Structure 1
């Protein structure tokens, strides 16, 4: 039997193990991976459903109207309801508030398969819009503020890969479950599988660390602790408003608003009009899987470009801008050629992967549509990360981003629900993207060099001189 010395050894070993676990859990990249997994399960599976065209239903109008309700609710809550709650309670509570609304929406679609209760689908879409505000504001604040400045491109790339792997795997699940389907709508098992994965992602949010417990490589914390309920919601709301007004004095963020507006604008055209109206159900599932896999590829590519060590941050901003401009106009040019060809066929939901060469061209176009989505949104997040280094300032910018992203998406889905001609929808998308890039150019050219260590964010006054305390905390 061991004596006191042996017990001391076991005690010290246990403390060392707990300290190591805490160190790993509190690192920025671990938190990036965890929030990526939450998004893999929740919005990733939602994207897999949306990527089927009409959320897997034969009539896409119900899904389009539900998406309008979702995006309108997101736009209304992302800048008003969410930021004060984020300030009071931090990202974990926001994720737990928002995460359960994803399986609710999937359940509403399952119900629609049997009851055709469109009101329930639309109402669940609106509830999901509020929940999505909580999830995405928390996610954005974590992604753009937890890592050090010169590692934010890598963090964005990691997130985009894991998050979109969810959409890819979800679409492959649908592909397998509906391979022999001739009905044009997905089966109950598809929605049930999505619900189970979404529920797991919601529970995973309990592992997210608050900013004051996240310790960067240089020893600084990612941000201060949440304020709690001591100041109350109304006082917190006023405080958030004052902070937003202060953050809004940076003119560069306002020039990015058109880019934010466009960030989800093309989803309705690509998912319903291109994928939903052109391809068979099983091919839509396959296309959806590759669309999200393309986003993984796109996230890696642009994340690597935006973290090139031998370029300054202003140079990386210009490189990212040029890359998005060139790839965007090339891809949408291919989209114009496809749309003219598709219109000439006069067919609906007819193109299948069994058609061989005829399928290859449209398939690759849809793949590159997915990659471009990653290029565009990753660049928007990187620009926000370059303007805001603290979690609370980042939450303001992400709230602004989500508000205008949702507003643009709601307009686009309403255009889609009103059955505007496909070529008109493409033209609107392309014109808005070009105009947004033009307006954003002065903001891109005004990006400043990365701050030096010790001046990383506006919370550094709470962090300096406490390196030893941070390293030994357990």
Structure 2
């Protein structure tokens, strides 16, 4: 017998994994119609992500939504993310009534009005439609995210789930890259500061308006055919009130509370580096930025994903190398950005790609955009390793998205203030990065290590464990009622 310390609040190594994640031989798989298959449905969800949040990101990556001044657009984005906190939290109740397909279609509807608001503001100076469009986008976007996440996790066969998630997440960045290419093509000759050509938004409105119609091609869960012969079971739709209660309870566990500042570190920066782009760069440089902020994060994210999937290396090493690499490079980028904006407050430059010093000023924007994607991917890795079941993965993902929305609402709200527009956002992002390190490390240091983490007792006495190399072993935990050190007999 071997005894080792077992955390109350966090299990050693990976949580239990269903052994059906191993793909069976082809002759043991069930035949499926291509238009009912899991990957067909993930493609539909991906195309919706491409046309809606992907194009939204492309507009945002213009810097302040392509406007000459960032204040109004930052205020509008603050409204969007405030409402997304609520819509994300209540999305499971909506799915109970309209189903996951109906939720996906509903979630697509609110994006085009926001693009229309940016168009009218850019061309006619209209402001009210920007704010109304932002509100409609916030109400629908939280529902869209919950629906697409549920589909991406529940529809694929267990052995296809990782590939499906990666495939799905790529579409959003593809939308951003397409939007960036359109931006650059239409604004390549504009080397002055100011607003982006309104023609850009006509293209964006058309693409986003197609999103709800694409959603109609999605199969409802009962019609999906999987190669393992199992029906899709979206338990999130079975009892909305119990699901909301379970999600709320999960928010107050130590595991999630330790992540709050790191989530802020991951997403608070988005409004900051896009405002930075709008403040200090010419129109065509901003268009280039919208393209590069899609390409570079795809490259960086795939490198990080490759490292995190290296199962031949222990979980302990993979998680620690990734975490401390992110900590160090982000510290370097924020130091770089702090020096630049402090200087820009005095010199008031407008950088074009022909301007001396453009590379140093533009480079930090590209790296900060990549850092956003790296942190986002790393948060999914964390969820994968702290959740015990697929249902908890969905709940944690919903909590992360809602918390992200709250942080981004704060970020965009502050960036709408003149005090924060030039430099304050960079200074605050630097501070959040610094204070987020220890709580996140307190959680991450238990990945792949048999040590106790004192907290509430959220794990059953009879458990299964997966060691660092992925081997499942059974064990029974015992300990006092105070949540002190427990042992696992293997």
Partner in structure 1 of residue 303 of structure 2: 301
- Kindly indicate whether the alpha-carbon contact (under 8 Å) linking 1:34 and 1:207 is maintained by their aligned counterparts in 2: yes
Q: Distance in 2 between matches of 1:433 and 1:151?
A: 34
Task: Give the TM-score taking structure 2 as reference length.
Answer: 0.77
1:264-299: CA deviations, max 9, x gaps? 211121111x20011001110101110121121122
User: Cα offset for 1:443?
Assistant: 2.3
Q: Is 1:36 paired with 2:46? A: yes
- Kindly indicate whether the alpha-carbon contact (under 8 Å) linking 1:291 and 1:367 is maintained by their aligned counterparts in 2: yes
Indicate how the Cα distance of structure 1 residues 49 and 431 shifts in structure 2: closer, same or farther if over 3 A, else same: same
Q: Distance in 2 between matches of 1:414 and 1:260?
A: 17
Unaligned runs of 5+ in 2: 1-29, 449-464, 474-490
2:292 to 287, 290, 293: 290
Instruction: Give the stretch that moved more between structures: 207-216 or 358-367.
Output: 207-216
Indicate how the Cα distance of structure 1 residues 61 and 323 shifts in structure 2: closer, same or farther if over 3 A, else same: same
1:420 alignment partner, SS class? helix
Partner in structure 1 of residue 378 of structure 2: 379
Q: Is 1:199 paired with 2:198? A: no
Instruction: Give the stretch that moved more between structures: 95-104 or 140-149.
Output: 140-149
User: Cα offset for 1:341?
Assistant: 4.0
User: Cα offset for 1:144?
Assistant: 5.0
Partner in structure 2 of residue 439 of structure 1: 439
Q: How many aligned positions are there?
A: 424
- Kindly indicate whether the alpha-carbon contact (under 8 Å) linking 1:105 and 1:125 is maintained by their aligned counterparts in 2: yes
1:183-219: CA deviations, max 9, x gaps? 8222332111001111223322234455566677766
Partner in structure 2 of residue 253 of structure 1: 256
Structure-to-structure mapping, 1:402-417, within 5 angstroms: 402-417=401-416
- Kindly indicate whether the alpha-carbon contact (under 8 Å) linking 1:317 and 1:444 is maintained by their aligned counterparts in 2: yes
1:62 to 62, 72, 86: 72
- Kindly indicate whether the alpha-carbon contact (under 8 Å) linking 2:95 and 2:237 is maintained by their aligned counterparts in 1: no
1:30-71: CA deviations, max 9, x gaps? 544443332121111111111112211112221111111111
1 or 2, which has the higher helix percentage?
1
1:107 to 105, 116, 126: 116
Indicate how the Cα distance of structure 1 residues 91 and 307 shifts in structure 2: closer, same or farther if over 3 A, else same: farther
Partner in structure 1 of residue 399 of structure 2: 400
Indicate how the Cα distance of structure 1 residues 62 and 340 shifts in structure 2: closer, same or farther if over 3 A, else same: closer
Unaligned runs of 5+ in 1: 1-18, 229-235, 456-474
Indicate how the Cα distance of structure 1 residues 183 and 351 shifts in structure 2: closer, same or farther if over 3 A, else same: closer
Q: Distance in 2 between matches of 1:219 and 1:374?
A: 35
1:323 to 317, 322, 325: 325
1:354 alignment partner, SS class? coil
Q: Distance in 2 between matches of 1:89 and 1:387?
A: 30
Indicate how the Cα distance of structure 1 residues 187 and 38 shifts in structure 2: closer, same or farther if over 3 A, else same: same
Structure-to-structure mapping, 1:260-299, within 5 angstroms: 260-272=263-275, 274-299=276-301
2:56 alignment partner, SS class? helix
1:223 alignment partner, SS class? coil
Task: Give the TM-score taking structure 1 as reference length.
Answer: 0.80
Q: Distance in 1 between matches of 2:438 and 2:404?
A: 18
- Kindly indicate whether the alpha-carbon contact (under 8 Å) linking 1:142 and 1:391 is maintained by their aligned counterparts in 2: no
- Kindly indicate whether the alpha-carbon contact (under 8 Å) linking 1:154 and 1:304 is maintained by their aligned counterparts in 2: no
Indicate how the Cα distance of structure 1 residues 389 and 148 shifts in structure 2: closer, same or farther if over 3 A, else same: farther
